[in-house]
Amino acid sequence: MALILGIESTAHTFGVGIVRNGKIIANKRDMYTTESGGIIPVDSARHHRELSPKIYSEALVEAGIEEKDIDAIAFSQGPGLPPCLLEGLKFAKALSERLEKPLVPVNHCVAHLEIGGVTGAKDAVLLYCSGANTQIISYASGKYRVFGETLDTGVGNFIDTFARYAGIGFPGGPKIEKFAHEGKNYIELPYAVKGMDVSFSGILTNLRQKLERKEGSLEDLSFSLQETVFAMLVETAERALAHVGKNELVLGGGVACNSRLQEMARKMCEERGAKYFCPDRSLLVDNGAMIAYLGEIMFNSGISFSGESAEKLDIKPRERTDEVKVRWK
C-alpha cells in the first residue's frame, strides 16, 4: 500500500496529483496563461509559487486524505524551464522535510508514457505532442528510447507561435482547433518528415508569409496546418510502431487534446490492427497525477531519497528521455 503525492511544474502548469495503489485519487492543476504573447518563464514560476499552497490543499481535500498519510513525494525533475522546475523542487523539498517523507524524482516525458497504464496500455509507443516536446518514445532493451522527434520546436510551441502571429494569445492550440473547424479549403504547406523525425520551422515561415500576404483566411490556414502537421506526426508514430514491433499507441501532451489529431491517430491504429489509447484530457496535459503514478511505480521498486541524498537532489532541465536510468522495470 503506497500513497504518493506528485508535483508537476515543468512549464506553465502547476499540478498536484495523488495516487494510491495505481488509482488516481486527486488531480488538481492550474495553468499560467497570457492574453497575448508566449510563456515568460519567471512569470510562470511566480504563478507556481503563488498557487502551490492552494493546489496542494485542494488535492488533499479531493483525495480525502491527511498530510500524514502520504508515503512519498514525487516531483517532475525535468526536462523543463529552470525557474519553473525550481519552484516544484523547492515545494517538494519543503514538504519532504516537514512531513519527513522521501522524495522520488520523476522524468516528465516518461510519466506521459507510463500514465497510459491507467487506460490499459502495457507496452506502448507514446506519441508525445506537447508545447516544448515532440517525441515518439518507447521502452526497448533497458531504456526509454526516442525513436523520432522534432528537429526544431515542439509542435505545441509551433502552433502557439503561429497563433501569436495571428494575434490570438496563448495557448493557441485550442483556438486554432476552433478556427480549423470552420476551414474549408486546404492550402498546400510544406511537409517535413525525415525518417521518424519531424520539423516545423519551415512550415511556420511559410504560414507566416501566407498570413502576412493574406493568402488564405485564418480558418483555412488553421485547417491546413492541422491536416499537414498531424499527418506528419501520425506517419512517424506509425513508422515507430512498425520499427519496434509494438501494437499499442498512447497519446500524450497538450496537443493530443486535439480531436482531429486523435481521430487521425485512431484511424491509423485501426488500419494496422494496433490498440489505440488516449488518456482523459486531464491526464494528457501536464498534470501531477502522472508524476504520482510513475512515482509510485518507482517508489515500490525501492527508489526514494531521504535526508542528505534528498537535499542533494537538483532539477534536470535538459534531461533526455534516453538518459533516464531505469531501475524499476
Interacting residues toward ligand AMP by CB under 6 A: 11, 13, 130-131, 156, 159-160, 171-174, 177, 253-255, 257-258, 285-286
Q: Report the partner that residue 8 touches, choosing among ligand AMP, Mg ion, none (CB closer than 5 to 8 A by kind).
A: none
Stretch that binds Mg ion, among 125-133, 167-175, 183-191, 321-329 (CB under 5 A): 125-133
Instruction: Return the number of the residue (102 or 288) whose C-beta is nearest Mg ion.
Output: 288
- d(CA 155, CA 84) in angstroms, rounded, equals 20
Asked if 228 interacts with Mg ion (CB under 5 A), we say no
Distance CA 58, CA 64 (A): 10
Q: Which is nearer to ligand AMP, 101 or 108 (CB)?
A: 108
Q: Does 134 bind Mg ion (CB under 5 A)?
A: no
> Would you count residue 286 as binding Mg ion (CB under 5 A)?
yes
| DSSP string over 67-123 | GGG--EEEEEEESS-HHHHHHHHHHHHHHHHHHT--EEEEEHHHHHHHGGGGGT-SS
Cα 237 to Cα 301: distance, rounded to the nearest angstrom: 30
Q: Which stretch binds Mg ion (CB under 5 A): 60-68, 235-243, 286-294, 313-321?
A: 286-294
**Total site size for Mg ion, rule CB under 5 A:** 2
Residue 159, binding choice from ligand AMP, Mg ion, none, Cβ under 5 to 8 Å by partner class? ligand AMP
Give the up-direction half-sphere exposure of residue 197: CA atoms within 13 A in the CB hemisphere: 7
| Residues forming a β-bridge with 150 | 198
Q: Which is nearer to Mg ion, 114 or 286 (CB)?
A: 286
Buried b (16+ CB within 10 A) or exposed e, 61-89: ebbebeeeebbbbbbbbbbbbebbbbbbb
**78 binds, options Mg ion, ligand AMP, none, Cβ within 5 to 8 A by partner type:** none
* Part of the chain binding Mg ion (CB under 5 A), chosen from 96-104, 122-130, 149-157, 259-267: 122-130
Strands 72-78 and 3-8: parallel
Q: With respect to ligand AMP, which residue has the nearer C-beta, 96 or 287?
A: 287
Q: Is 130 in the site for Mg ion (CB under 5 A)?
A: yes
- Is residue 304 a contact residue for Mg ion (CB under 5 A)? no
Exposure string (b/e) for 147-159, b if CB count within 10 Å is 16 or more?
Answer: bbbbebbbbbbbb
Residue 238 binding partner per list Mg ion, ligand AMP, none, with a CB distance cut-off of 5 to 8 Å that depends on partner kind:
none
Pick from 284, 214, 291: nearest CA to 250 = 284
Residues that bind Mg ion (CB under 5 A): 130, 286
